[in-house]
Amino acid sequence: MQRQNMRRLAAVVTVAATGVAAWSGLAQATGPGAQGINRVEESNVRVEDDIRIKEKGGSQVIVAHITVEPGGHTPWHYHPGPHIVSVRTGTVEVYETDCTSRSYAAGTGFFDPGPTRRPHVHTLRNPSSTQRAEIVITDIRSDGDLRPTVVVEPQPATCP
Whether this model's pTM surpasses 0.85: no
Contact between 149 and 73 under an 8 Å Cβ cutoff? The reply is no
pLDDT tens-digit readout, 88-97: 999 999 998 8
Report pLDDT for 107. 94
The three-state DSSP-derived secondary structure of 73-128 is ECCCEECCCCEEEEEEECEEEEEECCCCEEEEECCEEEEECCCCCCCCCEEEECCC
Per-residue confidence (pLDDT) for residue 160, from 0 to 100 = 67
Q: Is residue 111 part of a domain?
A: yes
- pLDDT given for residue 19 in this prediction: 43
CB 10 within 8 A of CB 53: yes
Domain encompassing residue 45: 2-151
Output the pLDDT for position 102. Answer: 95
pLDDT tens for each residue of 76-85: 999 888 889 9
Does some domain include residue 156? no
* CA pair distance 109, 19, nearest whole angstrom: 11
Evaluate whether residue 157 is within a structural domain: no
User: What is the CATH classification number for the domain harbouring 108?
Assistant: 2.60.120.10
54's CB contacts (< 8 A; 6+ apart) are 7
* Segments in the chain below pLDDT 70: 1-31, 160
Hey, is 78 helix, strand or coil? Answer: strand
- Indicate whether 54 belongs to any domain: yes
Q: How many domains is the chain built from?
A: 1
